[in-house]
Amino acid sequence: MDEFETIARLFVPLARGEPGAFGLGDDAALLTPRPGFDLVLTKDAIVGGVHFFPDDPPAAIGAKLMRVNLSDLAAKGASPRAFLLAAAIPPTVDEAWLAGFAAGIGADLDEFGGALVGGDTVSTPGPAVFSLTAIGEVPTGTMIRRAGARPGDLVCVSGTIGDAALYVAHRLRGVAVAGLDHLEERYRYPRPRLALGAALRGLARAGCDVSDGLVADLGHLCEQSGLGAVIEAGAVPLSPAARATLERAPGLLATILTGGDDYELVFALPPEADPAALTDVSVIGRFEQGQGVRVLDRAGSPLELDRTGWRHPVGRGEDAR
């Protein structure tokens, strides 16, 4: 397989006619932001056996790489504009696999916007490593930061929490779950909350995505905002599958609250805001003076969680930031 030809055939169409991509035929891409917009830049990497299962479909891996980055853009209120892909590919990867991977990226470009404008493809004797740089736009001065929450602000989350973590627990530890298909879909195809993120510009005082786990990511907002937060475990939104799983095994609450890979948004709304005006958003607590995240049960008693974050135990790697 001549890698130059493979790139030409598989990745060039992902430039989607973006003029600044030069058909991926130059050393660099050109990007001219629209007047009145800031650029938002993020970059996440995934490693085979660490961040995805080796038997995950290649299109799902391409989609996941896109979505972990799109989720960061969403959390910041940005709209996707351009991507750069670095792919370190082991000799075991063949062209059909790469075609599936590229198709997963392409489908997400079609659905969420933006174009592949550059990158690099190299070989590695190790597992596949992919890193994606995602560049989005926000109107000047409207990027949602981790810092900015105030005491009394509402702690809000989108969607449901814990599905992906339950899927991983099932795969790695044989944990019995209900609704496995739903959990697997949530793990493989997280939904970047781009529309919600855009709606939160000028409204949310702080926000990030739930990638490391709800408690850890809310902790990031607290740390950067110089605050603490208290949430009610019973208010955390669960899918029917997660709810049924939890009814059978209440001890999985810690997995749900601290597991990662949800790619929902957690954010601070001022107390006078109307969360019900936002689609698929739940209020789960309040920011408060202090530090750290307190989790209360239905009786108002503090819950001790056995871990505060999630570090991708699929392989032997750990994930930071």
User: What part of residues 214-243 is at the interface with a second copy (CB under 8 A)?
Assistant: 224
Q: Is 161 one of the binding residues for a second copy (CB under 8 A)? A: no
Interaction with a second copy in 52-91: which residues (CB under 8 A)? 72-73, 75-76, 78, 82, 84-88, 90-91
* # residues near a second copy by CB under 8 A: 74
Q: Using CB under 8 A, pick the residue from 24, 59, 102, 166 that binds a second copy.
A: 24
Q: Is 49 one of the binding residues for a second copy (CB under 8 A)? A: yes
Q: Which residues are paired to 87 by β-bridges? A: 121, 130
Handedness of CA 320, 265, 47, 22 (dihedral sign): negative
Q: Using CB under 8 A, pick the residue from 140, 202, 244, 271 that binds a second copy.
A: 140
- Asked whether the beta carbons of 47 and 89 are under 8 A apart, the reply is no
Q: Which is nearer to a second copy, 183 or 208 (CB)?
A: 208
Nearest distance in Å: CB 318, a second copy = 5
Token pair of 40 as six digits: 């938002």
Q: What is the rounded radius of gyration, in angstroms, for the C-alpha atoms of the chain?
A: 20
Nearest distance in Å: CB 317, a second copy = 3
Closest CA to 82 of 141, 143, 16: 16
Element (H, E) at 266: strand 265-269
Interaction with a second copy in 94-123: which residues (CB under 8 A)? 117-123
Closest CA to 160 of 185, 132, 124: 185
Nearest distance in Å: CB 139, a second copy = 11
Q: Is 173 one of the binding residues for a second copy (CB under 8 A)? A: no
3-state secondary structure of 136: strand
